[in-house]
Chain A
C-alpha cells in the first residue's frame, strides 16, 4: 500500500475483476481509492507491510494485551441495521471488549469474488470506518484478494483486533460464583431475525433491524459501577442459550433464568412462531450477557440503562450451585425446562 499520489488510471470499472487482485496498478487503485480512503486516520503512517504502533494503555505496569480474530460471511451483505462491514468491526471489537480489553486497532482482510460492484465495496468500507469511529478503534492494516467467480460468495472479511486490558482487571467465566446475577443489555434475537427476513425467501415483511453495535463503552461503564464484574459474553452465533451454556460450563455452575424476564420483541417472537425457531438461539451482534455479584447488580443495571447500548438492560437470572454446566429456565407457566446447547443449525420445521 502507498499513501502517495495515485498511480495508473483511475478506478473506472464498475465491478471488481481478477485484475484488481493481480498485484499491479489496478490492485493499487482498489486499495488506495476504496480502502485507504475510507480507513485513513492519524494512526495510518508510512505504508509499509505492517502497521507500527504504540499506545500508553499497553505500557502501563500490569496491563495485558488482548488479541482476537474472526471471519465474517453473511447473506445478504447489506441488511437492515448494518452490513458485513459493521459486523466485521463490531464483532471483533466485542470479542475484545467482553474480555475486559479496551480495543485499540484492527486489521481487515478482504476476499472478494470477481464481479462484486465497486460501489458496494465502497459502501461497506465507509460503514466499517463509521463503526470503527463509533467504537474508538482504527483499522491500521489490511489485505485484499480477488478470487474467480464461484470461488467465494461475493465478499468475506476477516478482522483481527488488539486491545489493552487495564491492570487489575480479570474477567472470565471461571470467576462466576453461585448467587451472581445475570444481566443482558437489551432485546434478544434482532440480528438473527433481521437476517432471516432480509434474505427475502420467506416473504416476511418486518421492520426488525440488526442490533449490530459496539459493546466496549457499555462494558467500561459496567466495570466502573460494578468493580467485581465477573465475566461477559456477547450472545452472537447460537444466541443467548449458547452463551449461557458456555459460561455454565466454564464456571462449573448451573445457571437458572426466568422466561418472564427475557426481553423479547413482539416481531421477533412472531418470526420465530412462524418458522418454528427459538429466539433464545437467534444470533445477536450487539447483545451481551454479563455476571456481577448480587450486591453490585443494581449499580450495574443503572449504569447499563444510562448507556445508549444498554437502555433495555434487565436481570434474567443467576448462577446456582445445582446442575453444574447446565442452564435451566423457569417457564412463564411456572414449569421448568432445560435450555440446551444448539446442535448444528436451527432448521425451520415442516408444519
Chain B
C-alpha cells in the first residue's frame, strides 16, 4: 500500500502519456492502422477502464483484451460440475467469492446455495483446510481456480493436508497456466498483435523465462507489468519503444516485485502436487494443449475429481454456450464487447449470459460498468 499513491501520480502519468503519444506517432500508427497491444490479464483490463486510461491514450493505440480472467475462461461444464459437487449432502463446497455468480447450465453456485447447498465463500484454501479440521464428518471441497498466482496456495494446502493426514479435504482442480493460450493466440492466423503486456503477479511466481518463446519464437515484445495505472502506462510505453526500435524482448517493468527467476519455493510446491493435463477446455477458446493442471497420482486422495468420480474426462466434454454469445470472439480480440449483439441487452452484469460479463475483470463487464464512450454514444 505504501506504493499505491506513488504509482497513481497524475503528474508522472502525464509525462508517460506524452511519451506514448510521441512513440505511437513515430511508429506511424493511426486509428485505422493501430498498434495492437494485448493486455493478457483481466486485472489490467479492469485497471484500463477503472482509471479511464482508454480516454487518455492516442487513437493509434488499440488495447486487445486478453484471456487472463480465470472466472471468464472457465467452461460452463465445469461450473455445472461445481454445482453437482456442492449439491452432495456430505459436501461443504468452498470457493473464492467471484466464482459464485458464474452461470452454469442449470444454476450458479449462488443459486445452488440458495437452494440449500452448503457453499461457503473463503479467502484462501487454508480457510477450507480449517473447515475440514472442524468438520471431520463432512467432505470439504475447495474450488481450485486461477492461474499461476493461486496455484501455489492450493498446492500448499494439499501438502499440508497430506502432512496432517486429513481425509475429508479435496481440491476440485481447475488451475490453468498463462503461456499456452498465448501460444494458441499467436498461432491463430487471424490474430494481429504487435506486443503484450504480461501479468506481474503471475511472474512473481513463474518469473520471466516462460515468456521467452513470445519474443524469440514469435518476434513479439512482452513487458511484465504491475497493476497500478502508472505501471500499466509505463509498460505500454516499453512495448511501444520495442516496436519502434524493432526489438522483441521480455522486459520487466515490475522489477520491484518480480524477480527474474520467480518464486522457487512456490514453483517447487506446484511441481510436487500438479502435472499438466493433456489438454483443457477454455471458454471461448476451445481445448488448448497442456494448458491445465491436474493433481499428481501421489496426491489423488485430495483430488475431488477422483474422489467423487466427476470431472474432466469423466463425461462428454462439450456444453454449448448460450445462443449467440460472442464471448469467444471478444476473448480473442476479434471484436470489442459492444459489437456483440447481446451486449447490454440480454447480457448485463445483472443477468450475465456469458462469463465476460460476470467477473469485474471480464472485458464486457469492464466496458459496461466503466466505459464513458458507451454513455456518449447513447446520447
Which 7 pairs show the lowest CB-CB distances between chains A and B?
A335-B52, A347-B97, A270-B1, A337-B370, A351-B149, A348-B97, A335-B55
Smallest beta-carbon distance B72→chain A, Å: 11
Give the complex CA separation of A260 and B127 in angstroms: 37
Q: Which residue of B lies closest to A270 (CB)?
A: B1
Chain A 251-300 residues near chain B, CB threshold 8 A: 260, 266, 269-270, 273, 275-276
The contact sample of 7 A-B pairs, CB cut-off 8 A, is A276-B360, A330-B52, A331-B50, A331-B51, A333-B13, A333-B56, A349-B98
Give the complex CA separation of A331 and B374 in angstroms: 17
In the complex, which residues of chain A have a beta carbon less than 8 angstroms from the beta carbon of B350? Answer: 343-344
In the complex, which residues of chain A have a beta carbon less than 8 angstroms from the beta carbon of B142? Answer: none
State whether the Cβ of B145 lies closer than 8 Å to any Cβ in chain A. yes
Give the complex CA separation of A266 and B121 in angstroms: 26
Stretch in A89-97, A135-143, A320-328 touching the partner: A320-328
B98 touches A337 (CB 8 A): no
A334 touches B10 (CB 8 A): yes
Question: 11 additional contacts, CB 8 Å, given A337-B51, A350-B70, A350-B98?
Answer: A266-B1, A273-B4, A333-B8, A335-B54, A335-B56, A336-B55, A336-B372, A337-B50, A337-B372, A343-B349, A349-B359
State whether the Cβ of A70 lies closer than 8 Å to any Cβ in chain B. no
Smallest beta-carbon distance A13→chain B, Å: 28
Interface size class of B (residues with CB under 8 A): 35 or more
Give the complex CA separation of A326 and B379 in angstroms: 12
Q: A331-B52, A350-B145 are in contact. Are A273 and B1 (CB under 8 A)?
A: yes
Partner of B98, one of A332, A333, A335, A348: A348
Q: Which residue of A lies closest to B48 (CB)?
A: A335
A347 touches B51 (CB 8 A): no
In the complex, which residues of chain B have a beta carbon less than 8 angstroms from the beta carbon of A269? Answer: 1, 4
Chain B residues in contact with chain A, CB under 8 A? 1, 4, 8, 10, 13-14, 43, 49-56, 70-71, 96-101, 121-123, 127, 145-147, 149-150, 201, 229, 349-350, 359-361, 368-372, 374-375, 379
Give the complex CA separation of A351 and B8 in angstroms: 20
CB contacts between A and B, total, < 8 Å: 102
Partner of B229, one of A201, A333, A344: A333
B370 touches A338 (CB 8 A): yes
Give the complex CA separation of A260 and B99 in angstroms: 32
In the complex, which residues of chain A have a beta carbon less than 8 angstroms from the beta carbon of B149? Answer: 351
Smallest beta-carbon distance A195→chain B, Å: 15
B121 touches A347 (CB 8 A): yes
Smallest beta-carbon distance A262→chain B, Å: 13
In the complex, which residues of chain A have a beta carbon less than 8 angstroms from the beta carbon of B370? Answer: 337-338, 340
Partner of A349, one of B52, B96, B368: B96
State whether the Cβ of A202 lies closer than 8 Å to any Cβ in chain B. yes
In the complex, which residues of chain A have a beta carbon less than 8 angstroms from the beta carbon of B375? Answer: 323, 326, 328, 338
Smallest beta-carbon distance A118→chain B, Å: 27
Smallest beta-carbon distance B220→chain A, Å: 24
